[in-house]
């Protein structure tokens, strides 16, 4: 009672009070879980949860270290660990190297990978937007995943028998072995060493100071770049060590995107810790590890744990009400700094020759798409590939709306496609619904799910929608779209209908034209949104949300519209995709596809519809010729190269061609000098599309003109 009295009176330090209260809450939760869950919460499951949760906790701490140093979420973190871990396991299983020596070598490889990433990639993006650098880590994940599969140890599948595997002890119905004991012995030592480094060494104190204010640290002479390299080296070593320890218990499943599933629990723990507090991350990691084991013990679906991780992330983001710290808030930045493609000035765009050129160019592209199957004498398989390419193009357009114009990163767009596919397939197979009615329902379903997932982004700016959508993509692929659990909901055979009793979609040519029609409608609808007041508000909010709010711009409504419109496009694309594929198969909408289409859109230029379509079509066409690992390597390396050389994507390069054509078409009409189109304005009043103009356009009535437009 005296302890409780002291806690109430506040006579103990805050950290001690929080630790005691958290411990008490944990005991209450455990008792409730043991009483309410079907199979209870036996002590050996709790012990297993703590053991595996310590791995999650250590990974989360590595994520937070990188975030506080560079203010990015490192989506390549799992791939960094699996690359070093694969080398370690190969040395042990294939080369006969001593197990502990192999672990040390794998950790050293992880340390080296971390150093190379910081020197070769992170420093190259030192002046880039934090969003751009976060996207660069997606390309890194793809490149590292390919290197892992093609390198030594990439083909290792299943469990690993280590020298500690024979040291067993059975508790309840579970047999623990020496590998579990190694985790318990090693991870506390690593965490203690990490705490000592951050709290007791000059370098650690400097890292913490630089995380709070990097510019001030530079002015004080702190070697920020060298400290960043140290942090990345430590993170790489931690990731490799945790991969080896985890694989010794759970086995290995090599995949380019395996790092994402490996990373998801750690991302959830880091978000719970607000990407700031290492002690909270440790506690959250242990709690999520226990949650994962309880799910596995009480449910037949092991992948149900991924759904709980998604729920935890959503709750953690929605529960944030306090202001962000300086380190956390520093991660906010606008996608506009990624090199958005400069539109033509309104006066030039309105000139008759320019309008006619745009119309003629669009008509020529549409005519080429319509005539290609006939003139090219394409086979059914080629038409199928072109249809899939156009569906990916629709998904790319949905990313333009949400990311290019709204500034929110979505790494789960193909999960919304999966939602639309399931809705369409069920309505047509089970209810014999009309095809177009099913597509409308798919669009509505995609819009609703996208809105629900986007709610945290209305409260928290920055990178965290990417975490939410990635978690959603993993949960959809491993659980909701898993035939093992929901065979009744996932039709594997969907008959194609006859449209208007005349056009049989059993013909691949008819399917091609239907998809082409919807792609054209999607582009026209997106252009209409961009030209509307909602589109102007989106751009204004993306570029400067504070200025937009001060000008009474309805930013909230515009964000909601962007989420819903983007989700609706993806949902309709899913309905078309299930018709193209005639059903839903295993892994039809995996998280890797979402990363691929995002990378393609960025490569093309996610700031414009034409740029995103160019990127999607170019990469998808290249995949038809190279395929496999080479295609993944091209996408990842291409993403890194484009972000560094042309932040606006290939579309940014195409603007120079456009401007040259405009010079020829317009000349010096209207007193304008088209030669200045590609150059930045020397004075704000010279800029035809400056922020004030965007805000003025956002405040004008729908369809109305600002003074600038007139």
Evaluate whether residue 693 is within a structural domain: no
Determine the pLDDT at residue 98: 92
Do 237 and 356 belong to one domain?
no
Listed range (18-32, 416-430, 449-463) with the worst mean pLDDT: 18-32
Evaluate whether residue 534 is within a structural domain: yes
Please give the Cα distance from 505 to 613 (Å, whole number): 25
Evaluate whether residue 423 is within a structural domain: yes
Please give the Cα distance from 612 to 601 (Å, whole number): 4
Give the pairing of strands 168-171 and 174-177: antiparallel
Residue 445's pLDDT band, with cuts at 50, 70 and 90, is very high
- What are the structure tokens assigned to 463, written together? 């990178």
Other Cβ atoms closer than 10 A to 637: 15
Listed range (215-229, 496-510, 668-682) with the worst mean pLDDT: 668-682
Listed range (38-42, 166-170, 563-567, 612-616) with the worst mean pLDDT: 38-42
- What are the structure tokens assigned to 26, written together? 């944990």
Residue 172's pLDDT band, with cuts at 50, 70 and 90, is confident
Do 623 and 638 belong to one domain?
yes
Determine the pLDDT at residue 640: 84
Whether pLDDT at 459 is above 60: yes
CA 671 to chain CA centroid, Å, is 46
Listed range (226-235, 256-265, 421-430) with the worst mean pLDDT: 256-265
Determine the pLDDT at residue 253: 61
User: 631, 648, 665: which is the final residue of a domain?
Assistant: 648
Determine the pLDDT at residue 254: 54
Do 599 and 658 belong to one domain?
no
The angle subtended at Cα 287 by Cα 284 and Cα 293, nearest 5°, is: 140
Residue 339's pLDDT band, with cuts at 50, 70 and 90, is very low
Whether pLDDT at 635 is above 90: no
Listed range (44-48, 103-107, 428-432, 586-590) with the worst mean pLDDT: 586-590
Per residue in 535-564, pLDDT (tens digit) is 888 887 777 666 666 666 677 777 888 899
Listed range (146-150, 174-178, 604-608) with the worst mean pLDDT: 146-150
Per residue in 687-703, pLDDT (tens digit) is 334 444 444 444 444 44
Other Cβ atoms closer than 10 A to 300: 8
Enter the DSSP assignment of 491. Answer: -
Residue 209's pLDDT band, with cuts at 50, 70 and 90, is low
- Quick one: average pLDDT of 371-393? 88
Do 607 and 658 belong to one domain?
no
Query: What CATH number corresponds to the domain at position 199?
Result: 1.10.3470
Evaluate whether residue 669 is within a structural domain: yes
- What are the structure tokens assigned to 270, written together? 């880091």
Of all residues in the chain, what percent carry a pLDDT higher than 90? Answer: 20
| Mean of pLDDT over the chain | 79
Do 359 and 382 belong to one domain?
no
Enter the DSSP assignment of 72. Answer: S
Angle between helices 304-318 and 278-298 (to 10 degrees): 140
Evaluate whether residue 303 is within a structural domain: no
Residue 425's pLDDT band, with cuts at 50, 70 and 90, is very high
Do 631 and 657 belong to one domain?
no
In contact, 540 and 700? CB cutoff 8 Å: no
Evaluate whether residue 259 is within a structural domain: yes
Evaluate whether residue 21 is within a structural domain: no
Please give the Cα distance from 215 to 217 (Å, whole number): 5
Please give the Cα distance from 570 to 594 (Å, whole number): 11
Closest CA to 609 of 450, 405, 338: 405
CA 298 to chain CA centroid, Å, is 30
The count of structural domains within the chain is 3
Do 349 and 279 belong to one domain?
no
- Quick one: average pLDDT of 28-34? 69
DSSP letters along 299-343, please?
-S-TTHHHHHHHHHHHHHHHT--SPPPHHHHTT---GGGGTPPPP
Do 609 and 553 belong to one domain?
yes
- Tokens 């992880």 -> residue: 110
Listed range (16-20, 94-98, 549-553, 575-579) with the worst mean pLDDT: 16-20
Q: Residue 613's domain spans which residues?
A: 336-342+378-648
Who has greater pLDDT, 698 or 88? 88
- Cα–Cα distances in angstroms (integers) from residue 169 to residues 166, 180, 181, 189, in the given order: 9, 10, 10, 23
DSSP helix/strand/coil, 531: helix
Listed range (61-65, 525-529, 534-538, 655-659) with the worst mean pLDDT: 655-659
Residue 221's pLDDT band, with cuts at 50, 70 and 90, is low
Determine the pLDDT at residue 133: 81
Closest CA to 197 of 225, 238, 137: 238
Whether pLDDT at 455 is above 90: no
- Quick one: average pLDDT of 316-341? 52
Do 478 and 534 belong to one domain?
yes
Do 383 and 531 belong to one domain?
yes
- What are the structure tokens assigned to 395, written together? 């998904």
Phi-psi region of 170 (alpha: psi -120 to 50; beta: other; left: phi over 0): beta
Closest CA to 338 of 412, 403, 410: 403
Closest CA to 413 of 636, 623, 601: 601
Phi-psi region of 4 (alpha: psi -120 to 50; beta: other; left: phi over 0): alpha
Determine the pLDDT at residue 343: 67
Do 528 and 641 belong to one domain?
yes
Do 524 and 554 belong to one domain?
yes
Per residue in 582-627, pLDDT (tens digit) is 888 878 888 888 988 988 888 888 888 888 898 899 888 887 777 6
Evaluate whether residue 566 is within a structural domain: yes
Enter the DSSP assignment of 252. Answer: B
């Amino acid at each position: 009672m005296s302890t409780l009295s002291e806690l109430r009176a506040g006579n103990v330090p805050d950290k001690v009070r929080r630790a005691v209260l958290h411990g008490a809450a944990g005991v209450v939760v455990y008792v409730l879980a043991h009483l309410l869950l079907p199979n209870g919460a036996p002590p050996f499951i709790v012990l297993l949860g703590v053991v595996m949760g310590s791995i999650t906790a250590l990974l989360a701490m590595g994520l937070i270290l990188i975030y506080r140093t560079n203010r990015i979420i490192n989506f390549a973190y799992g791939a960094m660990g699996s690359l070093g871990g694969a080398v370690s396991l190969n040395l042990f299983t294939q080369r006969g190297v001593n197990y502990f020596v192999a672990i040390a070598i794998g950790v050293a490889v992880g340390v080296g990978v971390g150093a190379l990433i910081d020197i070769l990639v992170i420093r190259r993006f030192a002046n880039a937007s934090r969003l751009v650098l976060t996207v660069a880590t997606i390309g890194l994940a793809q490149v590292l995943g390919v290197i892992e599969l093609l390198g030594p140890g990439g083909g290792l599948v299943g469990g690993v028998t280590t020298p500690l595997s024979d040291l067993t002890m059975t508790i309840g119905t579970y047999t623990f072995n020496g590998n579990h004991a190694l985790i318990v012995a090693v991870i506390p030592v690593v965490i203690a060493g990490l705490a000592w480094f951050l709290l007791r060494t000059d370098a650690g104190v400097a890292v913490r100071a630089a995380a709070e204010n990097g510019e001030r640290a530079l002015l004080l002479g702190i070697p920020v770049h060298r400290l960043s390299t140290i942090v990345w080296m430590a993170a790489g070593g931690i990731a490799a060590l945790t991969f080896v320890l985890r694989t010794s218990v759970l086995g290995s499943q090599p995949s380019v995107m395996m790092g994402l599933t490996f990373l998801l629990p750690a991302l959830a723990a880091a978000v719970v810790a607000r990407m700031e507090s290492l002690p909270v991350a440790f506690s959250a990691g242990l709690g999520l590890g226990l949650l994962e084991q309880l799910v596995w013990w009480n449910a037949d679906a092991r992948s149900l744990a991924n759904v709980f991780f998604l729920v935890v992330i959503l709750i953690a983001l929605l529960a944030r009400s306090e202001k962000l710290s300086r380190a956390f808030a520093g991660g906010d930045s606008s996608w506009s700094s990624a090199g958005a493609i400069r539109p033509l000035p309104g006066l030039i765009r309105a000139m008759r020759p320019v309008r006619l050129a745009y119309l003629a160019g669009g008509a020529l592209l549409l005519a080429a798409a319509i005539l290609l199957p006939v003139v090219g004498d394409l086979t059914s398989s080629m038409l199928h590939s072109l249809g899939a390419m156009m569906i990916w193009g629709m998904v790319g357009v949905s990313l333009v709306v949400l990311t290019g114009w709204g500034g929110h990163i979505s790494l789960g767009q193909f999960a919304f496609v999966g939602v639309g596919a399931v809705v369409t397939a069920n309505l047509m197979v089970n209810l014999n619904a009309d095809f177009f009615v099913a597509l409308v329902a798919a669009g509505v379903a995609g819009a609703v799910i996208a809105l629900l997932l986007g709610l945290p982004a209305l409260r928290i700016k920055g990178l965290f929608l990417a975490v939410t959508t990635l978690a959603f993509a993993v949960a959809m692929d491993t659980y909701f779209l898993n035939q093992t659990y929901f065979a009744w909901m996932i039709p594997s055979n969907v008959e194609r209908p006859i449209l208007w009793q005349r056009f049989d979609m059993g013909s691949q040519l008819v399917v091609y034209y239907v998809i082409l029609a919807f792609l054209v409608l999607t582009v026209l609808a997106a252009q209409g949104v961009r030209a509307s007041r909602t589109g102007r508000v989106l751009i204004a909010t993306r570029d400067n949300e504070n200025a937009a709010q001060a000008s009474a711009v309805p930013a909230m409504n515009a964000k909601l519209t962007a989420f819903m419109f983007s989700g609706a496009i993806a949902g309709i694309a899913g309905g078309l995709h299930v018709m193209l594929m005639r059903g839903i198969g295993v892994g039809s909408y995996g998280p890797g596809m979402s990363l691929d289409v995002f990378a393609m859109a960025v490569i093309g230029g996610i700031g414009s519809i034409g740029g995103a379509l160019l990127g999607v079509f170019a990469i998808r066409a290249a995949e038809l010729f190279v395929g496999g690992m080479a295609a993944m390597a091209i996408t990842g390396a291409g993403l890194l190269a484009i972000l560094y050389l042309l932040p606006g994507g290939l579309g940014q390069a195409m603007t120079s061609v456009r401007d040259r054509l405009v010079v020829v078409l317009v000349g010096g009409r209207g007193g304008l000098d088209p030669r200045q189109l590609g150059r930045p304005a020397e004075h704000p009043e010279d800029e035809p599309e400056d922020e004030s103009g965007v805000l003025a356009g956002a405040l004008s009535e729908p369809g109305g003109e600002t003074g600038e437009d007139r």
